[in-house]
Amino acid sequence: MTRNELVALIYQKKSFLCIGLDTDLEKIPQHLLKEDDPVFEFNKAIIDATADLTVAYKPNIAFYEAYGSKGWQSLEKTISYLKEKDVFTIADAKRGDIGNTSGRYAKAFLNTLDFDAITVAPYMGQDSVGPFLDIPGKWVVLLALTSNKGSDDFQMIKTENGKMVYEHVLQKSSEWGTPDNLMYVVGATKAEMLSSIREIIPDHFLLVPGVGAQGGSLEEVAKHGLNKDCGLLVNSSRGIIYAGKDEDFAEKARAEAIKLQQQMQDILEEAGIC
Amino acid sequence: MTRNELVALIYQKKSFLCIGLDTDLEKIPQHLLKEDDPVFEFNKAIIDATADLTVAYKPNIAFYEAYGSKGWQSLEKTISYLKEKDVFTIADAKRGDIGNTSGRYAKAFLNTLDFDAITVAPYMGQDSVGPFLDIPGKWVVLLALTSNKGSDDFQMIKTENGKMVYEHVLQKSSEWGTPDNLMYVVGATKAEMLSSIREIIPDHFLLVPGVGAQGGSLEEVAKHGLNKDCGLLVNSSRGIIYAGKDEDFAEKARAEAIKLQQQMQDILEEAGIC
């Protein structure tokens, strides 16, 4: 999906919501466990109930790998099902290795599974990120400033020129791709830092996790992070997909997604974006 | 496997070799392609030909994921087969995410697949690494200074106190685990930096990729990196597993592994380690 197509989706749905599919057999409604593939049945119901409200879905690959090859099959079915919908798809995989190996991960997620985007860790530098950027029509979502407490440990170290490590990551990596194939992960729990981040990368899309279960605020994120094309994908996982625990779990998920979509519509209209 | 057991293996085999299983259908001998699971058949033959010469095997997970759920099945069969041998097993996965998600990766690789160790990326900090360290009897191999060119981009940035980012990673993370459950990746292409690394972490094992195909020297690595328990696992992947392209590929691989094991035996004897 191109940047223009993604922006058009945001306008059409009046939403910049991304729903995280962190599907866990211990948390999904018990009645699904009798199905052949409970993970896929759960995802399918969530997708059916929310696809008109969200511009993106983000399966969290760890949750599929935890079930081995069966989990990988659930992932394959989920991405196939998502490809029938009008949505942007992100493999939340946080991969990154020497070039030869990153190329294999790129093939796995962007070619074979055909995700639109993959999250990538920056620690190993340009030649670990490049193979993902080299695939035409696909996106890298690079970790910059994450939403967890541990982001203080290395991302926030001050370097000799006064900038923090995550600012180096933003600055240097923005030369490797363009706003048409590179986004960044910036946690909602650090919303007040979005203004200075926008000075470094005014045009790139940001994927913002941490709203909801992790405590980030949508209003704060929008205030500091919106750009002229919206430029934001705000993720919610547990707050939506586990809103209900019974047979009506999909309706409960829809109700939570509607709340976020309506807040987003207000934000977009107020900002004059759509 | 405990540290004592790993050290005993090194003494017994007079080797600190790790063989990387970067198994690629385009590079394995063509006659294997008629098998039901060519990836596993290749791995099995390589393992049978080299298990007495190497202390560790390191399947590179990207190469399995590139084949989807079928690749994951090859990985499951490979680790099951490795568990029958007297070797240390490393999932070269370079994972790392928020705690909740790292916990799922830990489950996938250290519990379900039952690897002894997993490679982990440090960018997201302590709470992204902790869930792997929390699993009793298992190991984290944390990226510190990698063997690729891109390691200059962020790992080598100088911070305000004069240390480089990778030195912060070593220093801070060494408080999260112990030499009994935490190793580090240090590339052989940076062998001359091993002496200063040994000042920060004298006791930890180092997993050293980059010997062979990437150009690093075993002698240099040993000179700067050995400690009293050896403290090194030196990886070779392509140089061993793709030494031959025909029906005798396993014997060719064995011949390459013997060369490295004999060099390692000389090094260990010269250093008075065994």
Split chain A (274 residues) into runs of 10 and give each run's mean pLDDT: 98 98 98 98 98 98 96 97 98 97 97 97 98 98 96 97 97 98 92 92 96 80 95 96 97 97 97 90
pLDDT at residue number B212: 72
Please indicate, yes or no, if residue A259 is contained in any of the structural domains. yes
Measured between beta carbons, the chain B residues lying within 8 angstroms of A122 are 123, 153-154
Does B165 reside within a domain? yes
Decide if B158 and A154 are in contact by the 8 Å CB cutoff.
no
Residue B218 domain flag: yes
Is pLDDT at B16 greater than 70 in this prediction?
yes
Q: Which long-range contacts (CB under 8 A, 24 or more apart) does B26-29 make?
A: B27/B242, B28/B249, B29/B244, B29/B245, B29/B246, B29/B247, B29/B249
pLDDT of residue B213: 65
The pLDDT value given to residue A102: 98
Q: For B79-110, how does the pLDDT look when each residue is reduced to its tens digit (9 = 90+)?
A: 999 999 999 999 999 999 999 999 999 999 99
- At residue B216, the pLDDT reads 76
Q: Let me know: does B101 contact A209? Beta carbons within 8 Å.
A: no
For residue B108, the enclosing domain spans 3-255
Q: Out of B65, B67, B155, whose CB is closest to A123?
A: B155
Q: Which of the residues A64, A69, A167 would you substitute to probe the B interface, choosing the one with the greatest number of B C-beta atoms within 10 Å?
A: A69
Measured between CA atoms, the residue of chain B closest to residue A161 is B160
Which of B105, B109, B123 is closest, CB to CB, to A143? B123
CATH number at A19 reads 3.20.20.70
Which of B78, B126, B154 is the best substitution to test chain A (most A C-beta atoms within 10 A)? B154
Using CA atoms, how far apart are residues A154 and B173, in angstroms rounded to an integer? 10
Domain membership of residue B12 (yes or no) is yes
**Residue A94 annotated as catalytic:** yes
Active site residues of B: 94
Judged against a pLDDT cut of 80, whether residue B11 lies above it is answered with: yes
Q: Please give the pLDDT value at position B26.
A: 97
**CA angle in degrees (0–180, nearest 5) for A24-A27-A28:** 85
What is the per-residue pLDDT for A225? 96
State how far residue B75 is from chain A, nearest Cα, in angstroms: 9
Number of Cβ within 10 Å of residue A164's Cβ equals 18
One-letter amino acid for residue A155 of the chain: Q
The whole-model pTM stands at: 0.97
Q: Which among A68, A107, A157 has CB closest to B168? A: A157
Nearest chain B residue to A63 by CA: give it.
B104
Record: contact A154-B99, CB cut-off 8 A:
no
Q: In this predicted structure, what is the pLDDT of residue A240? A: 97
Distance CA(B183)–CA(B173), nearest Å, equals 10
Structure-token pair, residue A121? 């860790």
* pLDDT of amino acid B229: 95
Neighbours of B152 (CB within 10 A): 12
* Mean pLDDT of the B126-152 span: 97
Q: Would you say A153 and A185 are in contact if contact means Cβ atoms under 8 Å apart?
A: no
How far apart (Å, rounded) are the C-alpha atoms in residues A249 and A159? 48
The verdict on residue A176 lying in a domain is yes
- Give the C-alpha separation, A273 to B234, whole Å: 55
pLDDT for the residue A190 = 79
Domain count, chain B: 1
Q: pLDDT tens-digit profile of A144-197?
A: 999 999 999 999 999 999 999 999 999 999 999 999 999 999 998 878 899 999
Q: A274 in a domain, yes or no?
A: no
Number of CB pairs < 8 Å for A and B? Answer: 194
- List Cβ neighbours of B80 (8 Å cut-off, separation of 6 or more): none
Question: Whose CA is closest to A208, among A16, A15, A12?
Answer: A16
